[in-house]
Structure 1
Amino acid sequence: MTTFWLAILSLIVIALLIVWRIFSSSKDTLGAENINIRQETNVTLYHEHLAQLETDLAEGSIEQDSFVQLKAELDKTLLQDASSSESVRDTKATTWIWPLGIAIALMSFSFFSYMKLGAYPLLNSPTTSAMNEENKQITPEQMMAFRLQQLEQVVIDEPENAEAWFSLGQAYISIGEFDNAIAAFDKVIAQVGIHAELLGPKAQAMYYKNNQQINADIQQVIDQALALDALDPATNILLGMNSFSNRDFANAVKYWEVVLNSDRPGISTDALAEAVAEAKNQLRLSNEESAGVEHNKSSDTSLPQLTVDVSLAQSLQEKLQNDEDKVVFIYAIAANGPRMPLAAVKLKTSDLPISIVLDDSQAMTPQMRLSSVNKVNIYAVVSMQGSVGIKSGDFKAEVLNVDTMKKSPIAMEISIQVP
């Protein structure tokens, strides 16, 4: 900062020297010398003319009255020359007003321009500028560490700040400090009381600490949370993760869809929907690989087996030929009931055309199967975003009110774009 202002001051001094040099150059000295020479010459001539007049008076060439008159005119001329010289000096003196005015104007304009148009506010707060510049290069891990330090300082300064303690607990989970996370959540519970939205995150921290295994202590916290709020997001997400890791994909879907359908704020629905789709896909694959289970019950004509022939319209093929392979969802839902799929298959556009069979082996839960209803709506959807559900911009085909015991193939050509 000091170096900067010294540099500015040096530039101003140089500019002033240039201005003052112009008004104090050597020609002013020469002008002064010329004035002095002129004065000396005028005095010399005055004395010479006066001597000549006195000689003429002595010789009788002029009368006394003429002598007095001529001498008066000579004195008047000398006085006028002297006054002219003084006027020149006064004019020269006034010229110093110009460099002084220019100097003041130069300094005023420079400071005004910099304060209004320059970067003085940034220079005046170098810490903020440096932090903004550093933030452009900071890594997510460094940002998390910085955020953690901030929260730790907040709870030191404000030990009764329950919101800060809760955020600190979440941050501790993110960096794997599960004991600290549990302690932070306990601190919040001690301040505001027992609530499901506090017990759920605490159960998650305990779950991760126990190598992602639910023991009796964790189950007790889970049961307590669900008793207070059966739709608590953190608790249901935890149960879904545990079910998925244990390859219980049906229950994983059930718990995660509870959260998706709850419409609670602050939930990353896109990520959770992707997890549900993956769990359903894994469920289908595991059912297909299971020997001697429902997938092989083709001989049992009492159970629904809907054969669906799915293809892309020619116009859609041309539109998608230069795009990456899109996800295709083929599923059946109850014609008059909840929108949870009774059977679902996930494919790629490169798999089409294809003939598939929808049956009870592709059920999401044991209670929601094709055999549990009489009529279904069948959808084939090309998802442009790769997520479940029918969204604007997707392409679809649908067949409504299909008898679940229908034996003939159902042709579906995907061509309609969702508005």
Structure 2
Amino acid sequence: MTLFIALALALMVLALWPLVSTVWRARSKPDQPPATQVNLALLREQRARLEAELADGSLSHDEYTQAQNELARRVLLESAPVERNGPAAPRSVSAVVLLLAVPVLAVGLYAYLGEPDAVRYEAELARSQGDVSNEDLDAMVRQMTQQLESKPPGQAVDAPAWEMLARAHASRQRYADADKAYQRALELTPDNPNLLADRADLLSLLQGQSADGEPMRLVNRALAIDPGHPKALALAGSAAYGRQDFVAAQTFWQRARLRAEPGSPFAQGLESSLEAARAGIASQPGGAARLAAQASPKAEPSPVAGGHPGVRGQVTLSPGLQAKLAPGDTLFVFARAVQGPRMPLAVLRVPATVGPVAFALDDSQAMTPEHRISLHEQVVVEARISRAGQAMAQSGDLQGSSGPVASNSAQLQINIDSVVP
């Protein structure tokens, strides 16, 4: 909190410095330069010259008198005290008002529109890992809850603040309160896969490590938004392992390992889980042969003999939309059921290009064993180009669809020809 305040003050000083320097120059600089000794010396020299010209007859007495009067007038002007002009004071007052108003307005707007308590809460939560007593921590969590719940309806509250409160409640083993905070955070950002996976994890804990029902629904939503979300994949693997579907558990955990940081505790936990999944596969009839086939090198992937071939084809981008393609855009190709849940049966994610892109969707890309292409006679194949890299449709994405086709279709052509409004 102290560092945040110091940085904020430093930025405010930098913003006000041009105005401060302008006011300082305006106050220190006189409105009219005073008379100098040099100017008066020059006038004295001119008077001596006039007297010499009068003495040698170059000037008449009348001309000398007139020139003397002019010199006297100029001496009075040069020697007169300088008076400040009237507009200077109003300019100075306006500058001082601005100097006071700018920081006051900045602090006021941040207090109204921002979330200043979030910085303090985060710092206090970090310090709570030290020598803070349980009573102090409970008091801090209660204060944080009151602050968030007492926000006026029109005042914005950030989802991270509710997420922070949920984690604080969970650390105190107040899981019901943590779930309420997660729900409030999801109301603000319903398509946040991190929040969906965290709440699913919490609910499965409340259900005795069971992901049946609402936890699995949240996991499926998270995977629909981000098919490679590590925690959602890990939870899906745990659910599959719990129902003794060791092959599915291994598939989910292998996909999660691809996104895990090597050597991290999460990656180490996945390795232990994969060992358990392989042990479960080996205990089943034909499991040893399956594991041996997985370990043997494969020359090249090909359609599964005697299995479901899935749907294959090509995605093309309409010429009228090619100018909208930007470097770094991502192409998602989905297969969905014609009726029922819109959760993808298979997902392919590749870099978007102007040229045609070949695709193959089959059961190996299923997100859950219960949602596979082979379980449906017809599917709808959709293609979407996302600039944000999100599987969920967003305004400005480019998309195209096949309509209902056989789930074993080959040489399917998908044309991306529309823009998501």
Superposition TM-score, scaled by structure 2 size: 0.49
Instruction: Return the structure number with greater helix share.
Output: 1
Q: Decide which structure has the larger Cα Rg and report it.
A: 1
